[in-house]
Each structure stands twice: as C-alpha cells, then as structure tokens.
Homo-oligomer: A and B are copies of this chain.
Amino acid sequence: MTSPLTFINCEPTDSLSSHDRGLAYGHGVFETMRLGQGGIPLRQLHLQRLALGLDRLVIPVTAEVVNQQLDRVLRELPGEGMVKLMVTAGGGLRGYRPGGGEPTVLVQWYPAPAIPAAVSLQLCRYRLPANPVLAGIKHLNRLDQVLAAAELREGKQGLVLDQYDRIVEAISHNLFVRIAGRWRTPPLEQCGVAGVMRCYVMETLMPELGIAVDEQPLPVAALVDVEELFLCNAVTGIVPVSDVETVGRWPSQPGVDSLRRALLERLPCFAA
C-alpha cells in the first residue's frame, strides 16, 4: 500500500484510516494543481479556494498550515506533473457532527496528463442540484460528477446543466463562451466548482488583454448563438471545444487561440 509519491500528514504512505471522515462523509476538500516552472502556478488562488472550503466545512486547520505541509512534501516530489492535495476533517467522533479530530492532509503526485488540442463535448442528462452552501468549493462529495461522467461516450467530455436547463460547467472544467462578440461564463452561486483557472482567466488574463467578460447564466438553448468557446482548469489550462454533439461545430476559433497563446506566454507549463 505504500507509495513514495503519496504523503499523508507529510509521511510517505498511501495508507489512510478507514475511519477518516473524508471517507465516511466526504468531509474534506481538495485541489488538483499543476507542477512546473519550479513550483505550482496559481498557488495563491488554490490556497484561497482551499481556505474558503475549510471554513465552509468547519475543518479546523488553516490554509497556511496546509501550505507549509505542502512545501515540505514538494521537496520530495518531481518538479513536473500534477499534485492532488486533499484535506479532510480526520478521524473525529462517529456521527455526522464535526469536531474532535485532527485534520488529515494528503498529497498525491501524478504525471502531467496530455493536453488535447481540442475537446469534443456531449450534453449530460444528469442535472446538478442547487446548493448555495456547497456551490463553488471543491469538496469531496463528487457523486454529481461521477454520475455525469458515467454517461460519457468514448472520446467525449460532458457539459452539465442545472435544474433550469442552464449550462453550469464541464464535468471537470469551467466553460467560457463568446456570444455577440462578448465573453461570458456561467455564475456558480447555486452549483458548480469555481475553478482556479476560471478565476485567473476572468480576473487576470482577460483584463490584461483588454477583453471584457461577464458572469451570466447560459441557457442551453443559447449554445446555437455561440461564436467561440473553451474549457479551462488548473491542470490543462485553456482547451478549445471543437464541437458540442447535436448542437454545433467550431472548427476555427481565433479568439480562443489567442487567449491560449497569451496564457502560455505567462504560464508555459500549460503547453501540451
């Protein structure tokens, strides 16, 4: 069970107590982060979201303390690849009520995945439930994503909708679309994960390029008006969408290409 590339509370082990609340209830949060360029790009944004999740889930450890543990573990890991950081509420008492346990900090290293030149999407039937308390944070209750992904056909990624036929995100990416010349991305107050790369694109990359962007609901019916669209996350960066099954194809996307080039100038580790 021991792997040198998995660390639990800074010890090299893959072995977790089956009584951990991360398993029992999904009582924890995680960050999936790229490794490269001598560190973790967008690390501050990851830590900000982690802090929000720890607070929301009443897990008694600060993002700063987790970050110090991460620093220690990073010295033992390859300089390239990706890192999954999980923080759970730890052992604690039996029963749902939080409290009583020391949080568990897990770090898993993986090789970097290949970044596709473009992705082909299908619309998932599974709908994301509305839950304003859990929306945005990256917690360990991910059955919504598992069930949406169970629908995927070979070579496809999936767009997921809310209960009102609005596109929220792709299963493990956020989505940006351009309609009538203006970029927008769905708001995430009711469901979805507020991606670190989404935040970087909206708050840094697009503003630096003088590109306006809105958070605005995206009814699935509006897909036919989309001129360009891309997915993004903190592992793959910006990935153009080639087509959405039964809806349309976007063979040429000069705006996305230029955004992607601008990202790679700033953060070259996101090159394929």
- B143 adjacent to A27 (CB under 8 Å): yes
Chain B's closest residue to A89 (CB) is: B146
| Binding stretch for chain B, among A73-81, A91-99, A178-186, A237-245 | A91-99
In the complex, what's the smallest C-beta–C-beta distance from A156 to chain B, in angstroms? 10
- A8 adjacent to B18 (CB under 8 Å): yes
Q: In the bound complex, what is the Cα–Cα distance between A96 and B58 (angstroms)?
A: 25
Q: In the bound complex, what is the Cα–Cα distance between A143 and B27 (angstroms)?
A: 6
Q: Provide the A140-182 mask, 1 if CB < 8 A to any CB of B, else 0.
A: 1111111111101000000000010000000110000000000
Q: In the bound complex, what is the Cα–Cα distance between A185 and B177 (angstroms)?
A: 46
Q: In the bound complex, what is the Cα–Cα distance between A15 and B145 (angstroms)?
A: 26
A217 lies within 8 A of chain B by Cβ: no
- B58 adjacent to A18 (CB under 8 Å): no
- B17 adjacent to A146 (CB under 8 Å): no
How many A residues have CB within 8 A of the partner chain?
53
A227 lies within 8 A of chain B by Cβ: no
A226 lies within 8 A of chain B by Cβ: no
Binding site for B on A (CB under 8 A): 1, 6, 8, 14-27, 30, 57-58, 86, 88-89, 94-98, 106, 108, 110, 126, 129-131, 133-134, 139-150, 152, 163, 171-172
16 other A-B residue contacts (CB within 8 Å) besides A18-B108, A96-B146: A16-B20, A16-B23, A18-B86, A21-B146, A23-B86, A25-B143, A25-B146, A27-B142, A57-B147, A94-B110, A95-B172, A97-B152, A98-B150, A129-B131, A139-B143, A141-B143
